[in-house]
Amino acid sequence: MSRDQQRIALQPAYVLHRRPYKESKALIDLLTPEYGRIAVVASGVRSHKSRRKALLQPFCPLLISWFGRGELFTLTNAEQQGAPLNIRPGELMLGFYVNELLFRLVSRFEANIELFGFYDQTLRELARTHTDNYSPNAVQAILRRFEIRLLENLGYGLILDHDANSNEPIEPRLVYDYQLNRGPVANRNNRHIIGVEILGSSLLNLAKSIPDNLIADKKFMLESKNLLRYVLNYYLGEKPLLSRQLYQNTASKVKPTQIVN
């Protein structure tokens, strides 16, 4: 994207993160389809009576207008695009977790219509969980599918169809040692696991984006979670996710679905 002076009107967006900025302003990170992740300064959003304060919240589909150049833009207008997504308290932590992954892993100014689309889809699925009586494992599956697609989109896609050592197809009954920057290696001689232990059948089912008929399979869902946590932690680095800490602090109060990585 050009860093020259620009004036953009009515771009679809979601708020990923916001924090106070100077006196009555806020610094807001947004995800947009055509301009990627951007940061804007919004004025008059610290007052309790501010319409913008109520509007510029996570999980609310927006149309955003801004102008400026460089790394930081000035918000000129924000409109609601449809109703805010009603994500219940138990899944709210998961929404914050997804937002933090995007905030930490997605580079600024990289247009990505596909990423915006499956982020929007993930939020809408989380909002439907309480109306459609999703099981805890079904909610887990929503999160795992998002993580898989995010890694693929960022160029860090998992190797799920062949042995990284022999290049042979994954065998469902074999146990594999999934190693960072390498992929799955068959553990035929019960060697010490370097990375994460996972069944070949689990790798193949992850490649199919977690088939619905396997959502109730506790071993598969646990192996999927462990593998994705292992890979994501590598790219996130040593700084812990605040959403995980928030989840741990509130778990005893709202009884969420025990999924945040």
**SS3 sequence, 231-242?**
HHHHHHCCCCCH
| HSE-up (13 A, CA, CB side) for residue 150 | 27
Place 236 in a pLDDT band, splitting at 50, 70 and 90.
very high
Is residue 62 assigned to a domain? yes
62-68 vs 73-80, strand pairing mode: antiparallel
For 122-144, write each residue's pLDDT tens digit. 999 999 987 777 888 999 999 99
Predicted pLDDT of residue 157: 96
Is residue 30 assigned to a domain? yes
Predicted pLDDT of residue 140: 92
- 154: tokens are 């960022």
146 and 72 in a common domain:
no
On the 0-12 / 13-18 / 19+ scale of CB atoms within 10 A, 107 is exposed
Predicted pLDDT of residue 89: 82
Q: What average pLDDT does the structure give for the chain? A: 89
Output the CA torsion 113→118→119→125 (10° steps). Answer: 150
Residue 34 has pLDDT above 60, yes or no: yes
105 and 220 in a common domain:
yes
DSSP assignment string, 69-104: -TT-EEEEEEEE-SPPP---HHHHHHHHHHHHHHHH
101 and 41 in a common domain:
no
Domain count, the chain: 2
For 56-81, write each residue's pLDDT tens digit. 999 999 999 999 988 899 999 999 99
Predicted pLDDT of residue 61: 96
Kindly state the average pLDDT of the residues 192-201: 95
Predicted pLDDT of residue 4: 65
247 and 207 in a common domain:
yes
Is residue 1 assigned to a domain? no
Residue at a domain's end among 61, 80, 99: 80
Predicted pLDDT of residue 49: 66
Kindly state the average pLDDT of the residues 94-122: 95
Question: Which CATH number fits the domain that encloses residue 234?
Answer: 1.20.1440.120
145 and 73 in a common domain:
no
Kindly state the average pLDDT of the residues 88-93: 85
Kindly state the average pLDDT of the residues 222-233: 96
Kindly state the average pLDDT of the residues 200-212: 95
Is residue 232 assigned to a domain? yes
Predicted pLDDT of residue 247: 65
Find out whether 224 and 82 touch, Cβ atoms under 8 Å: no
On the 0-12 / 13-18 / 19+ scale of CB atoms within 10 A, 86 is exposed
- 179 or 4, greater pLDDT: 179
- Put simply, whether the predicted model's pTM sits higher than 0.85 gets the answer yes
14 and 113 in a common domain:
no
Q: Which domain holds residue 22?
A: 6-80
Q: What percent of the chain has pLDDT over 70?
A: 91
178 and 61 in a common domain:
no
Is residue 123 assigned to a domain? yes
- Tell me the C-alpha distance between 84 and 68, whole Å: 28
Residue at a domain's end among 49, 80, 111: 80
- Tell me the C-alpha distance between 96 and 102, whole Å: 10
- Tell me the C-alpha distance between 71 and 35, whole Å: 12
- Tell me the C-alpha distance between 69 and 2, whole Å: 9
202 and 230 in a common domain:
yes
Residue 2 has pLDDT above 50, yes or no: no
CA distances from 246 to 69, 217, 250, 253 (A): 35, 28, 6, 12
Find out whether 60 and 15 touch, Cβ atoms under 8 Å: yes
Residue 248 has pLDDT above 70, yes or no: no
Find out whether 179 and 203 touch, Cβ atoms under 8 Å: no
- 51 or 106, greater pLDDT: 106
Backbone angles phi, psi at 251, to 5 degrees: -55, -40
193 and 108 in a common domain:
yes
Find out whether 170 and 162 touch, Cβ atoms under 8 Å: yes
Kindly state the average pLDDT of the residues 30-44: 94
Residue 124 DSSP one-character state: H
95 and 59 in a common domain:
no
Of the listed ranges 38-47, 55-64, 173-182, the least confidently predicted one is 38-47
104 and 183 in a common domain:
yes
- 98 or 239, greater pLDDT: 98
105 and 72 in a common domain:
no
Place 54 in a pLDDT band, splitting at 50, 70 and 90.
confident
Residues 6+ away with beta carbon under 8 Å from 240: none
